[in-house]
């Protein structure tokens, strides 16, 4: 199966400056790490704003010994 989607919402905080919340990155990293600890997995990751978005499927797995 696929873990996610892990979505990063980009908001424009100042003219020409888009940001994502650090808490979203920390939460997504934990979800990907937990999935990888169980074995090979696919993680659906996306960034979105009011005008565009990007999506990718990442392959993750347990750390190498």
Per-residue pLDDT tens over the stretch 3-41: 999 999 999 888 988 899 999 999 999 999 999 999 999
What is the pTM assigned to this prediction? Answer: 0.79
Burial class (CB in 10 A: 0-12, 13-18, 19+), 35: buried
For 52-61, write each residue's pLDDT tens digit. Answer: 899 999 999 8
- In a domain, residue 65? The reply is no
Q: Write out the residue range of the structural domain in which residue 15 sits.
A: 2-50
- In a domain, residue 59? The reply is no
- In a domain, residue 58? The reply is no
- In a domain, residue 23? The reply is yes
Question: If you compute the radius of gyration of the chain from its CA atoms, what whole number of angstroms results?
Answer: 14
- In a domain, residue 26? The reply is yes
- In a domain, residue 32? The reply is yes
Section 43-52 average pLDDT: 92
Total structural domains within the chain: 1
């Amino acid at each position: 199966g696929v873990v996610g989607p892990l979505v990063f919402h980009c908001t424009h905080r100042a003219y020409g400056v888009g940001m994502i919340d650090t808490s979203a990155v920390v939460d997504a990293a934990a979800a990907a790490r937990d999935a990888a600890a169980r074995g090979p997995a696919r993680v659906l990751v996306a960034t979105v704003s009011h005008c565009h978005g990007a999506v990718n499927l990442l392959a993750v797995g347990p750390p190498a010994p």
